[in-house]
Structure 1
């Protein structure tokens, strides 16, 4: 199974009671879906472009688990604590299988075009 990731880029975080509550509760929402933090606002060194916020990456066993977590009542209950106290963008994205190489994308794109 190909892993999946929840990725968020946060700016202008109002690190007050709401964000603290969100952080205190999020672990319990991801655990039932096999999620684990890979990145949680660690030191970011810009290589290209302007980065003014924090990056968060949560790994899940697959796309279904990631989607189920995001849609879960437990996560939806705490989501406004983040969205109402930061500017952020977020997505769920499927990873690549083991052994994947960049050139594999060529076949994928050309296969979709035919």
Structure 2
């Protein structure tokens, strides 16, 4: 099952550290099968408030996502980003079924339809 790393960044202070971060992050993803799905784009907010950048990186499975985030190569880069932006970063599993439907959650929760 695919997994995703999601980063929500606001108040980014672009400078030499961010340039270095961007130049080096791709190499940290390669060993874990990570690939950018969304990077450096502003959301078209329809509900709530979010004024920042959203990054979504896909991985083959949660094991690879965790291994990437916890890798020494990526650990070196975290301060370059974290010292220059307010960040929320999280990992999450994708849905397991190729034709997943929202109502599938009801059975998982034991709710009778």
Range into which the TM-score falls when normalised by the shorter chain:
over 0.9
Instruction: Answer yes or no: is the 8 Å Cα contact 2:42–2:52 preserved in 1.
Output: no
Q: Which has the higher helix share?
A: 1
Matched, 1:107 2:107: yes
The count of corresponding residues between Structure 1 and Structure 2 is: 110
TM-score by length of 2: 0.93
Structure 2: unaligned runs, 5 residues or longer: none
Q: Secondary structure at the match of 1:18?
A: helix
Query: Quick one: distance in 1 between partners of 2:72 and 2:81?
Result: 15
User: Which residue is equivalent to 2:16?
Assistant: 17
Query: Quick one: distance in 2 between partners of 1:47 and 1:76?
Result: 34
Please report the RMSD computed on the Cα atoms of aligned residues, expressed in angstroms. 1.1
Structure 1 position 44, deviation (Å): 2.0
Range moving further from structure 2, 40-49 or 16-25: 40-49
User: Which 4+ residue blocks in structure 1 deviate beyond 2 angstroms?
Assistant: none
